[in-house]
Amino acid sequence: MESKIAMHITEQHCQGKRSDQSLNEDGLIITDGFAAVVDGVTSKSVRHLWQLSGGVVAKNLAIEVIAKLPTDTDMRHVQQTIDERFRQAYRECGADAAIFTDEPVERLQANAVVYSAARYEAWLFGDCQIMVNGEQIPTMKHVDELLGELRAFTALALQNKGEHQSSNPTDPARAMILPFLRLQSQFANKRGPYGYFVFDGFADLTYPIRTVHINSGDEVVLASDGYPLLRPTLAESEQELQRLKREDPELIHEYQSTKGFTPGNDSFDDRTYLRFIA
């Protein structure tokens, strides 16, 4: 059956950083009304309430919701419906409801960029990426820049002490900043310099969501932040990723991240890329 989708898909790729793809916290979905990239947030949980990981569960739930959306759904209804599905998951998991209210680090969390074919709009729910006609729109959160620099500072300090080895299968610098990564959740869906949007079941329905208007014929790229140097094609984006892996495997120089490339993994993060003509 011929699809009614009002876009022409050029390229799509979704790959987890580990060999076991069931652990991939990224996902993409294309329906008659929507194209979306979803990035489940890497869990910093202390309680470990979810099987596989909270990021996998969050990604799967968000995609489940988008798959069922009517084609004319607006941005706020998308936000509300995904958030409601997360709250339902909290009720179903059997944990004390107060945990999710009082301990935001234990919540499911996901980011997404969603394109509405009916409305010719893309909605940036968090820090997933978008490029239109070769022009990228910045989505990096200030708190991620801060903690990426903190990890770079920590890694370089350990190097100066002779304690850090690039071949180390663990990431001592990330381990040292983990308390700050957990503190970051205190700013979820808050306003202010360190605040940021994330789907977590407690989203603010008045939170400013960046909307990008798309024209018919525009070339659009949607991607997760697993492509730190996004380019207009998948091949170019992959080339930049592999160059970073060679030249800055710890991700503390050219691109400062809260995690680096781990030996044995395909990349430093799960990654998703979707290119289409509106």
**What span, in angstroms and rounded, lies between the C-alpha atoms of 10 and 99?**
43
Query: According to the model, what pLDDT value does residue 2 have?
Result: 38
Gap between the Cα atoms of 164 and 169, Å rounded: 11
Q: In the prediction, which pLDDT does 54 show?
A: 97
* β partners of residue 223: 129, 273
CA of 8: how far to CAs of 91, 110, 117, 274, in Å?
39, 26, 11, 11
Determine the pLDDT at residue 155: 95
CA atoms within 13 Å, Cβ hemisphere of 7: 29
Single pTM value for the model? 0.94
Q: In this predicted model, what pLDDT tens digit does every residue of 161-205 receive, in sequence order?
A: 887 545 456 899 999 999 999 999 999 999 999 999 999 999 899
Task: Return all residues near 55 (Cβ < 8 A) that are at least 6 apart.
Answer: 25, 40, 41, 42, 43, 109, 110
**Which residues of the chain are modeled with pLDDT < 50?**
1-3, 165, 167
Q: Cα(first)–Cα(last) distance of the chain, in Å?
A: 20
pLDDT of residue 164: 55
Residue 15: phi and psi, rounded to 5, are -145, 130
Contact between 194 and 146 under an 8 Å Cβ cutoff? The reply is yes
Strand partners, 213: 121
* The predicted structure's pLDDT at residue 203: 87
Measured CA to CA, the distance from residue 175 to residue 130 in angstroms comes to 30
Question: Which residue blocks in the chain are alpha helix, DSSP H?
Answer: 54-67, 75-92, 97-102, 142-160, 172-183, 234-247
Report DSSP state, residue 203.
-
Q: What is the DSSP letter of 30?
A: E
**Residue 51 CB partners (closer than 8 Å, separation 6+):** 57
pLDDT for 50 equals: 94
Q: How far apart are CA 100 and CA 119, in angstroms?
A: 34
